Structure 1
Amino acid sequence: MADVQPLRGLRYAHDKVQDLSSVVTPPYDIINAEAQERYYQRDPYNIIRLELGQQTPHDDELNNVYTRAAALLSEWRTQGILHMEEQACYYLYQQVFSAGGQNYTRTSLLARVRLEPWSARVVLPHEHTLKKAREDRLNLYRACAANLSPIMSLFEDPQGRMRRLLASYAEQPEISFSDEDGVERRLQPVRNSEHIALIQDFFRERQLYIADGHHRYETALAYRAELEEQRKTLHPEDAANFTLMSLIDVDDPGMLVMPTHRLLFNLGPDALQKLKETELARFFDVEHLEALADEDILPHLEKAGRERTAFILKTAQDTLLLRLKAQGQTHMESSEHTDAWKRLDVAIAQRLILEETLGLRPEDMTAGTHVRYSHDAQHVFSALVNGEIQAALLLNSTPLRQVCEVAQADDRMPQKSTYIYPKLITGLVMNPLW
């Protein structure tokens, strides 16, 4: 099904840039203005200048973040700061990190993947995208004609064939460095022609599930469509028919999905009254946990979630464990969504608590007028103590298998359903579209 090909990656030249940690960044969509300025100051060749350039008051159609990115990309190639791989290859890409007292190694394969429309059911999405973000990425595509960062995608490999094939490449990586978050990044090209053929054959039998990067994928589709219209025809092997992906086994032991908690604010007195046991008991069994220390809340929630869907609703006055009961499950069944969607903790939280109990609309959650999101429970607890928020809805993480099930059902998950840690790095390998 999937056409997964090696690429002649565009990479920083070692003789010009010895410290890769100084030139790479996280993905553009999690970089705030402060971090953007920090990356600008870190190194004159930092990828931030291409991926998320700074705007100026004098920007116009001829001089803006996109035209400056294009000029810099050309300049860096001319100066030898960036060089293109001599032969097409795959790249073993590993991230080694610690979280919650555990050590993880996440393994992926960097490759270029043939673009397919969603209707082809080769690459499957699980979320909707926003028009503004798509327009920004398309402008950058037009200017640079390159994928500067990979899309994170999942594949199924129950026999572990790909894991065994890539194991030998993990022993002595060509590149190894730690980023500002202490995550070790390892890269090793896969140039063996026999292994390249085996990898291509393996993925011809696979569907791919986008885990992170829906905007970039839709941008790639839009860019290809533009070129097809301009040129009237596009050769099947034209580089614009492909996009850069980091392909990860859905069962990889290094996959860490963090929960995304809902922080509630700007609620009126009537809404706050609905966050009481009498109202919540309509859909949930409610248990008071006032004696539970903050550090024990998430372990308690995780344990409860193994038996049935559970949440913890915390306010300045109450800590409530909510466990889905039959009436709540029946109400979920009335949704027009698929069965895969109805089983999601985030869908149950949105439909039964945020929408049905509090009366919030989906646009309220998208606009950020009443709901914010955080992966850091300590930040949530501090926000409650400081009065920044009125209540917090704490969730367990979403299993990646459920992401695949929703995608297979051709449904879309609620906003902020998954947060895979750590994010892929930008600037390690780029995919030229020329």
Structure 2
Amino acid sequence: MVKISTLRPYCPNNPIEFTTNPYDVIGKEEEEELKHNNNSLIHLILPDGEGDELYHNALSAYERFKESYIIVREEYPCIFVYRQESGEFNQEGLIMGVALDDYEKSNIVKHEYTREKPLKDRTRHIESTNVAAGLVWSVFRADIEIKKLITQIKKGKPKYDFEKYGYHHILWQETDSTIINKLANLFENKKIYIADGHHRAASAAEYRKHQLKNGNKTEKPDAPWQYLLSYVASDDQIRILPYNRVIRKLRDDEDNFIEKLEKVFEVRKVNKAFNPERKNTIAICIRGKWFELIAKDKTFNSKRDSLDVAILQDKVLEPILGILNVRADDNIFFVGGVQDPTIMEKYITDKGNDIFFNLFPVDIRDLESIADSGGVMPPKSTWFDPKLLSGLVLHDLREE
């Protein structure tokens, strides 16, 4: 169901110096530190300036990187295997092009809505620079034949092999048309699911629409702008961590709040910080005191409604705390990627917030099921970890 393609990308001469985390997880402090390095991708993905100047500076950075040979174009069309290793978790997948026509046909399946402001920003960015610098992370249902081909590619000498952000990053390049064609044939029968990067995917689709509107009709099916820069991994090769919620102020009496919770959950006092051990169980820290919330009603109208993040939204945040829009309400913020509950507790005891909701992670099968049914998950339901480096591969969208 999905058409894949080789890329002829730009790649960095010094990946340790050039690559960064994805733009949307880089905090202000990290951004400022990265900008001390003139050879960092940060100047392209998060340039200085406002309005038109910002996008002009992004283009200037991209042109400077090419002119200074900070990035160099690959001589031959290729795909890549990208692997990340740590002492506790390893993951790997393919970096390649995936046809945006399949995105429009829903063979590339979404599970969350995009927001207007970030979509406009990323679309303006890609139209100004004509380059995709961040990977759209997608998954497919595990396939032994694809795994065999990935293993075969990994027998070659890596293009990159380095340490960064606590992970060992390895990139293998493959130009052999026989292997690539075998992969292409296998993916013809695959549906893929966007895990992370919905705004990057949507902005690439907008760029393609503009190209088609401006006269570049579909007789150019292999033009670079027809393909999405993608990292595509088997669904047994990913780790989802909880995307937790913090409430700044409880605008209610604490005992009254717990009474309201008891109408929906079995509420049990716990003597120390803890992580929930199963689905439909939420750990909550209220002003330093921990409780276990076990959903009383386990009959759900949909798979989406069975997610703990949805139960929290539908049964607590909206009706009890009055938080109707989690993206816009200043009384809530999100913490992703933290696994140690004692660190979570410090958001209350040390940072002056009132409530920490510690959720059980979403299962990838639930994500796939919701996406297959055309459903949409609540905002910020999943934190995929580790994050993929941006800047290993830059996909220039202009025709050669």
Asked if residue 155 in structure 1 is aligned to residue 140 in structure 2, the reply is: yes
> Which stretch has the larger CA shift, 79-88 or 113-122?
113-122
Aligned to 1:202: 186
Secondary structure in 2 matching 1:357:
coil
Aligned to 2:95: 110
Report Cα offsets for 1:81-103 as digits up to 9, x if no partner. Answer: 322111111101001124xxxx2
Q: Report the Cα offset of residue 118 of structure 1.
A: 5.3
Instruction: Choose which of 259, 262, 265 in structure 2 pairs with 1:284.
Output: 265
Asked if residue 54 in structure 1 is aligned to residue 48 in structure 2, the reply is: yes
TM-score, normalised via structure 1 length: 0.86
Secondary structure in 2 matching 1:37:
helix
Aligned to 1:143: 128
Secondary structure in 1 matching 2:178:
helix
1:78 and 1:36 map into 2 onto residues whose CA distance is 24
2:342 and 2:169 map into 1 onto residues whose CA distance is 27
1:118 and 1:237 map into 2 onto residues whose CA distance is 15
Q: Report the Cα offset of residue 168 of structure 1.
A: 3.2
Q: Report the Cα offset of residue 175 of structure 1.
A: 0.9
Which residues of structure 2 form unaligned runs of 5+?
none
Report Cα offsets for 1:319-377 as digits up to 9, x if no partner. Answer: 2211112xx335x43xxxxx12122111111111212333321x2x1114221111323
Distance 1:113-1:232 versus aligned 2 partners, 3 A rule: closer
| 8 Å CA contact retained: 1:274, 1:357 | no
Larger relative helix fraction: 1
Instruction: Choose which of 13, 23, 29 in structure 2 pairs with 1:34.
Output: 29
Secondary structure in 1 matching 2:101:
coil
TM-score, normalised via structure 2 length: 0.93
1:342 and 1:391 map into 2 onto residues whose CA distance is 23
Which residues of structure 1 form unaligned runs of 5+?
334-338
| 8 Å CA contact retained: 1:155, 1:209 | yes
1:282 and 1:115 map into 2 onto residues whose CA distance is 47
Q: Report the Cα offset of residue 316 of structure 1.
A: 2.5
Q: Which amino acid aligns with 1:97?
A: S
Secondary structure in 1 matching 2:38:
coil
2:56 and 2:323 map into 1 onto residues whose CA distance is 42
* Aligned-residue RMSD, C-alpha: 1.9
> Which stretch has the larger CA shift, 122-131 or 314-323?
314-323
| 8 Å CA contact retained: 1:285, 1:324 | yes
Distance 1:320-1:81 versus aligned 2 partners, 3 A rule: closer
Q: Report the Cα offset of residue 126 of structure 1.
A: 0.6
Give me the identity figure in percent: 23
Instruction: Choose which of 299, 306, 310 in structure 1 pairs with 2:281.
Output: 310
Aligned to 1:23: 18
Instruction: Choose which of 332, 352, 377 in structure 2 pairs with 1:371.
Output: 332
Report Cα offsets for 1:159-178 as digits up to 9, x if no partner. Answer: 42211211133344221011
1:146 and 1:312 map into 2 onto residues whose CA distance is 43
Report Cα offsets for 1:123-146 as digits up to 9, x if no partner. Answer: 111111111111111121112111
| 8 Å CA contact retained: 1:266, 1:369 | no
Distance 1:403-1:274 versus aligned 2 partners, 3 A rule: farther
Please give the residue correspondences for 1:404-415 in structure 2 after superposition, counting only pairs within 5 Å: 404-415=368-379
Aligned to 1:422: 386
Q: Report the Cα offset of residue 75 of structure 1.
A: 3.1
2:57 and 2:315 map into 1 onto residues whose CA distance is 48
Aligned to 1:229: 213
2:78 and 2:5 map into 1 onto residues whose CA distance is 8
Aligned to 1:357: 320
Q: Which amino acid aligns with 1:70?
A: L
Aligned to 2:176: 192
